Amino acid sequence: MSPAGIVSRIQEAGLGGFALTDHQSARNTPAVAECARRAGIAFLPGLEVQTAEEVHTVCLFDTVASALAMTDWVYEAMPKRVNDPETFGDQPVVTWDDDIVDMEWRILAMGCRRTIEEISKKVHELGGLYIAAHVDRPNYSVFSALGGIPENCFDAVELSRTADSSIWAPKVEGYAITRSSDAHNLDDVAKVWSEADITRFDISSLKEVFLSKSLQISPRLTKF
């Protein structure tokens, strides 16, 4: 997915804002941020961090600088293993107009040594929001790895595209619930979404929505 391709799909879908959360890295957020700026679409840079507990978590920020600072901190705790493109795919770092400026050498499919508690503290120090990703999934979720949600760490929880909210809402009582497309290709962008009555798509507004639990999520997908 190129930056321009992502933003074009967002425009076609009519979304008011979106986030990019690549696995373990925000190095492509500068390019996507520039495409979003040119298109006049609100954008939040972030990354999906796989924790020491083998849990996927989403970190969102207002600025690319904060997302990149988080990336550097995560990189410090990652195995220094070189990526095998034939196994894990290429990991290009691109400009807004799709020039490849670098190839990330680390295996971004692997996790890091940072714990959920440590990551939560760092995200909040950088002014971001911390979300437990796809809590309903049988792998790489807080429930599959830990049996529940660690206290005082997350600002919200995310349900996957196919999760039945009537089943999962009682299990995550007390937390704001989001639903995200978690798109790995353009066809999946905007298949599901979350809605809120806000004037600005930024961390401050989302924090208020999470605290008031006034977020609405789209229906789940039953077919792909």
Using the predicted structure, report yes or no on whether residue 21 has a pLDDT greater than 90: yes
- Model confidence over 170-188: pLDDT tens digits? 999 999 999 999 999 999 9
Burial 127-148 (b: 16+ CB within 10 A, else e): ebbbbbbbbbbeebbbbeeeee
Report the percentage of the chain scoring pLDDT > 90: 98
Provide the pLDDT for residue 224: 56
**Confidence bin at 144 (pLDDT 50/70/90):** very high
What is the pLDDT averaged over residues 113-138? 98
The pTM assigned to this predicted structure is: 0.96
d(CA 115, CA 61): 19
- Model confidence over 83-108: pLDDT tens digits? 999 999 999 999 999 999 999 999 99
The amino acid at 16 = G
Q: Give the gyration radius of the chain's Cα atoms.
A: 17
